[in-house]
Amino acid sequence: MLKKYDSLILTGYKIVFSPVELDNESGITPEIRKILEITLKKVLNKKKNVKDDILKLIDQYPHLPQFKNYLSTYYSYNNELEEAFKINQQIVKDHPDYFFGKINLALEYLSKKKFEKIPEILGEEMEIKSLYPDREVFHIEEVLSFYEVAAEYFIETGNIEAAECRLKIMEDIDKDNDKTKHTAEKINIYLMKKNYEKFKKMLEKERHPKFIPKKKFRQTTEAPSFSNPEVNVLYEYGFQIDFKILRKLLELQRDSLIDDLKKVVTDSIVRYKYFKKLEWDNRSHSFLLHALFLLCELKAEEALDTVLDVLRQDEKFLEYWISDLLTEFMWMVIYGIGQNKLDVLREYILEEGNNTYARTSVSEAVTQTGLNFPERRNEVIKWYYTVLNIFIEQKDNDKLIDTTLTGLMLCDMLDLKPVELEETIIKIYDEEIAGLEVVGELDSFLTDLHSKNYKVFRRHKFSLEEIYRDFSEWERRFKKQSANTNKNLYDSGEVETKEYPSLPEEFRNTGRNEKCPCGSGLKFKKCHGK
């Protein structure tokens, strides 16, 4: 815009880009204009004897403040700041209407942290037209200089909204100007510092229980014995298994098959140390995931306690067997086998010392139950009410309270639009047991809670065939990509343990309240951040 037009009308005054249009008002002839330009170049290039030249010009043109301004610039360039300050004060005294005299004096007070002096010089409104109500024309450098100083004042005094407002004006005028870029940089630095301080405070308030073991399982090297020998096939294939094999398994007698699958699940616990000593191979190490997904397909509610025993294991165990799938897929297993056992799920999530993300998978399963069965919404709301109020009652229990978990639970709940729980939610925030780095500030949460435009996130229904098709493709792709990598890892003494897909690189530094990079339009915490 600025390249196409010589001037711009903005909020009642005209901005010009050539100083000539203002020279007549200032009593500057073309000859003086030329002298000013030559002198400024000498100052900026630190030419010898330039100080003497300026002093002579001040004597010759005492009515022009510009030469005094150049003397101030000369002193600043030569680190004679006190001399520069004296000149600035003299300019304002001798030429009270000279714009750059005010600007230089304001910069002096900024450097000395005397922020209360700035409004006395630039006006309470910090708007150039208010400072010079009788002027109709301003040079672009005057406008940008004014708003640069005003923005810096607001940054220093913590009014970032006012600073950003001034930056917007500068960007509308000339976003490529150095003053505009410098102001944008200062605002960004301020925001980064504030965000860092805010994040640091959040981290200081984070609480995560130490792992507490529950049942004791005796380790063994002996494989389980199955009523249905066909189940052994789960130890022989990764996710590239022929789906017909799985269908044949599902045709077995239901009760005996579920009992066998429960043995497979427990095998991951009792032979954990045994498998840890083996080289990871998807064909021999995918049996736990096979069993979990098959139990979900069968809606095997009788296997819930066995599955929860897996979720009661420590972080190293869960990372070894389930890894990223804990947050991406475990919820659907719990949803499939536990949606009619909310009391059992409540007992589990209130157990002390369980893994954060294992507990989160339970919360998400409960939320999806309320979303997919509207007639059960009140039951789910009551479930959350009970859990949250126990958290509030036991706010000092470091074995139970997990701020990340509570934050993620609030994120899950939001999809239910639980306005009935607003008072309880506020108490959770007041007691500082919600992870703000996860769920955000209370005002933002309440806005989403009451917003008619908040997009509810309903998960896709479980499809065993779809999961195996996707996982099979991932295994095939990762096997190809890691063929050469694995050789290099072994050569260097490192071993790659597994090939399960994790979040793509572009998702890894995304904030949970930012829009998901996948383009869904959802917040990251409601999409790939689940």
- What is the average pLDDT value for the chain, to the nearest integer? 86
pLDDT recorded at residue 520: 42
Q: How confident is the model at residue 348 (pLDDT cuts 50, 70, 90)?
A: very high
pLDDT band at 493 (very low <50, low <70, confident <90, very high): low
Task: Give, for 140, the enclosing helix (H) or strand (E).
Answer: helix 140-156
Residue 157 pLDDT more than 90? yes
What the chain holds in terms of domains, given with CATH numbers, is 7-203 (1.25.40.10), 373-455 (no CATH), 464-526 (no CATH)
Place 517 in a pLDDT band, splitting at 50, 70 and 90. low
Say yes or no to pLDDT of 525 above 60: no
Position 82 scores a pLDDT of 85
Q: 3-state SS of 289-330?
A: HHHHHHHHHHCCHHHHHHHHHHHCCCHHHHHHHCCCHHHHCH
| Strand-strand pairing, 13-16 and 7-10 | antiparallel
What percentage of the chain carries pLDDT values higher than 70? Answer: 87
Selected residue with higher pLDDT from 5 and 8: 8
Q: Which of 136-150, 255-269, 358-372 shows the lowest per-residue confidence on average (mean pLDDT)?
A: 136-150
pLDDT, tens digit, 9 for 90 and up, residues 212-226: 999 899 999 999 999
CA quadruple 395, 396, 398, 399: dihedral, nearest 10: -70
**Residues 118-134, mean pLDDT to the nearest whole number:** 89
- How much is the pLDDT for 7? 42
Query: What's the pLDDT at 529?
Result: 54
Burial 163-182 (b: 16+ CB within 10 A, else e): bbebbebbeebbeebebbee
User: Is it the case that residue 259 has pLDDT exceeding 90?
Assistant: yes
User: Which of 198-202, 255-259, 262-266, 498-502 is predicted least confidently?
Assistant: 498-502
Q: Label residue 527 by pLDDT band (50, 70, 90).
A: low
Q: Is 514 helix (H, G, I), strand (E, B) or coil?
A: coil
Q: Which carries the bigger pLDDT value, residue 121 or residue 458?
A: 121
Which range is least confidently modeled, 93-97, 178-182, 207-211?
93-97
The pLDDT value recorded for residue 485 is: 56
Q: What is the mean pLDDT of residues 410-436?
A: 95
Looking at the predicted structure, is the pLDDT value of residue 339 above 90?
yes
Mean pLDDT over residues 502-530, rounded? 48
Residue 491: pLDDT band with limits 50, 70, 90: low
Cβ atoms of residues 178 and 322 within 8 Å: no
The alpha helices in 322-402, defined as continuous H runs, are 325-328, 330-338, 342-349, 356-372, 377-393
Which tens digits make up the pLDDT trace of 305-328? 999 999 999 999 999 999 989 998
The highest-confidence range among 106-115, 137-146, 155-164, 310-319, by mean pLDDT, is: 310-319
Which DSSP string do the residues of 257-271 spell out, in sequence order? Answer: HHHHHHHHHHHHHHT
Which pLDDT value is given to residue 505?
46
The dihedral region occupied by 417, where left means phi > 0, alpha psi between -120 and 50, and beta the remainder, is left
Q: Which residue has the higher pLDDT, 10 or 341?
A: 341
More confident residue, 461 or 426: 426
Which residues have C-beta within 8 Å of that of residue 454, sequence separation ≥ 6?
414, 417, 448
Does 365 have pLDDT greater than 90? yes
Rounded Cα distance, 263 and 350, in Å: 26
Q: Which long-range contacts link 48-52 to residues 24+ away (Cβ below 8 Å)?
A: 50/74
pLDDT digits 0-9 by tens, 27-73? 788 888 888 888 888 888 888 788 888 898 888 988 888 888 888 88
pLDDT higher than threshold 80 for residue 450:
yes
